[in-house]
Amino acid sequence: MTGEFCGANLRVARHFHALTLEELAEQVGKTRQYLFKLETGASTPTESLAGDLAKALEVEPEFFLVPPLPPLPEEQVHFRRLLTTKVGIRQVALAKAQVTQLLVAYCDQKLKLPPVQFDEHVARSAENIEVAAEQTRRAWGLSTGPIANITRLAENAGAVVTTFQGVSREVDALSVPGSRPLVVINSDTKSPCRTRFDIGHEIGHFVLHQGQVTGDRVTESEANRFASALLMPRTTFIKEFPVTRSGRIRWAELSDLKLRWLTSKAAMVMRARSLGLIDDHGVKSAFIRLKNSGESIKEIEDDQIPFEMPEILVMAMDILKTRLSVDARQTAKDLRVQPSLVSKLLPVAQRQNQQIATVIDFPTATFRRPGYRVGS
């Protein structure tokens, strides 16, 4: 290994694997204090130690050489529950995002991914947010009906959607704006409707909060309002929400409506309240009913709705292999990591006790598949 050692890259690789200094030091037979010196640039490892560190962290020794990985300031990342997310967990998520961005940039260089189409809007009021969602729908060529696959929609708009292993249980969702936006969803979520809403929420951040620090109550509420408006446009939802003149919800019809809109009954109840279709008492009664029926986390219709799977990274890797003869091993070599680490950058395909239907089999009558062209 020749070149200048970069301790910052060692720190990113360690955080990627959610290892403490003590845990990594034990694996390579060194002390915590010595590894701290390596990460801060106060010391340089021997070639043998660099090899041991690389093996433990599933990278090549060259990964530790300058230049440092492109920085990802925490204030640029849209963390759900920023104020309550532990610092260590945020460090792990940021490191995973940094390394994932290496693969995304690599694919962007080799292929022509869909152009980024997230127009900015200002969220000064609830009405501003409603209009922003409606204009976003029009810009993307959508009608006022249900969105069949919001994961594919986000990827068609130029975002990369994926999951992070080893951190998703702690982080509901996060997104990284920029020239190629990144959306990370929670692969352990039990509800496909919750996942769809999470993606709508992150789209809301891209549209409403460019350049803003988010994660506080105000920005999270604004992103939730946008997600609701994007998934359930008011002109159509007001006509379809099943409520009597006295404000009582017709639950059998609401169940059918969930299967049409692919949003949770809880989200539809909150949407109805924001549009003045029911009052606070109606919301309270609805949530008591959902809790008493055991539907606070997973609703009974969820098993009838397939999870949407991110496609863009998997398809890009397939096209790199079949069209450009660049397999995962070559990709890993170019990124200075091991193939096993590249596989960890791809979306998690399995969920416990849940059979995942690929989006290829999902209704897509009004949506195009993500398009790729080989770069010139």
- Report the pLDDT averaged over residues 156-181: 85
Is 90 exceeded by the pLDDT of residue 369? no
Residue 48's pLDDT is 97
Are 221 and 111 part of one and the same domain?
A: yes
Are 175 and 251 part of one and the same domain?
A: no
To the nearest whole percent, how much of the chain has pLDDT over 90?
77
DSSP state of 59: B
Is 70 exceeded by the pLDDT of residue 374? no
Residue 168's pLDDT is 62
Are 83 and 219 part of one and the same domain?
A: yes
Are 218 and 330 part of one and the same domain?
A: yes
Q: Look at residue 1 and tell me if it is in a domain.
A: no
Domains of the chain: total: 3
For 275-294, write each residue's pLDDT tens digit: 999 999 999 999 999 999 99
DSSP state of 5: B
Residue 83's pLDDT is 53
CA–CA distances in Å: residue 38 to residues 41, 182, 337 = 5, 30, 19
Q: What is the CATH number for 17? A: 1.10.260.40
Are 156 and 125 part of one and the same domain?
A: yes
Residue 169's pLDDT is 66
Are 168 and 46 part of one and the same domain?
A: no
Are 284 and 346 part of one and the same domain?
A: no
User: Model confidence at 1, in pLDDT bands (50, 70, 90)?
Assistant: low
Range of the domain at 49: 7-64
Are 257 and 225 part of one and the same domain?
A: no
Residue 332's pLDDT is 97
For 21-74, write each residue's pLDDT tens digit: 999 999 999 999 999 999 999 999 999 999 999 999 999 999 999 999 988 888
User: Model confidence at 366, in pLDDT bands (50, 70, 90)?
Assistant: very low
C-alpha 205, offset from chain centre: 12
Is 60 exceeded by the pLDDT of residue 138? yes
To the nearest whole percent, how much of the chain has pLDDT over 70?
90
Is 60 exceeded by the pLDDT of residue 372? no
Residue 82's pLDDT is 52
Q: Look at residue 85 and tell me if it is in a domain.
A: yes
Angle between helix 217-231 and 265-274 (nearest 10): 100
Which among 289, 304, 319 is the end of a domain? Answer: 304
Is 70 exceeded by the pLDDT of residue 342? yes
- Report the pLDDT averaged over residues 348-369: 36
Q: Look at residue 2 and tell me if it is in a domain.
A: no
Closest by Cα among 80, 116, 118 to 223:
80
Is 60 exceeded by the pLDDT of residue 365? no
Are 141 and 188 part of one and the same domain?
A: yes
Q: Look at residue 119 and tell me if it is in a domain.
A: yes
User: Model confidence at 255, in pLDDT bands (50, 70, 90)?
Assistant: very high
Residue 88's pLDDT is 84
- Report the pLDDT averaged over residues 193-219: 94
Q: Look at residue 266 and tell me if it is in a domain.
A: yes
8 A C-beta contact, residue 10 and residue 39 = yes
Is 60 exceeded by the pLDDT of residue 116? yes
Distance CA 180, CA 173 (A): 17
- Report the pLDDT averaged over residues 229-253: 96
Are 335 and 201 part of one and the same domain?
A: yes
Written as one letter, the residue type at 152 is R
285: tokens are: 């009664």
Residue 356's pLDDT is 32
Residue 71's pLDDT is 87
Residue 187's pLDDT is 78
Closest by Cα among 222, 220, 305 to 262:
305
Which among 45, 64, 83 is the end of a domain? Answer: 64
Residue 78: phi, psi to the nearest 5? -90, 95
8 A C-beta contact, residue 158 and residue 180 = yes
Residue 362's pLDDT is 27
Q: Look at residue 37 and tell me if it is in a domain.
A: yes
Distance CA 204, CA 227 (A): 6
Residue 106's pLDDT is 97
User: Model confidence at 171, in pLDDT bands (50, 70, 90)?
Assistant: confident
Which among 16, 48, 64 is the end of a domain? Answer: 64
Is 70 exceeded by the pLDDT of residue 375? no
Q: Look at residue 160 and tell me if it is in a domain.
A: yes
Are 54 and 166 part of one and the same domain?
A: no
Q: Look at residue 295 and tell me if it is in a domain.
A: yes
Residue 84's pLDDT is 57
Are 18 and 49 part of one and the same domain?
A: yes
- Report the pLDDT averaged over residues 232-259: 96
Residue 351's pLDDT is 39
Distance CA 38, CA 28 (A): 13
Is 60 exceeded by the pLDDT of residue 96? yes
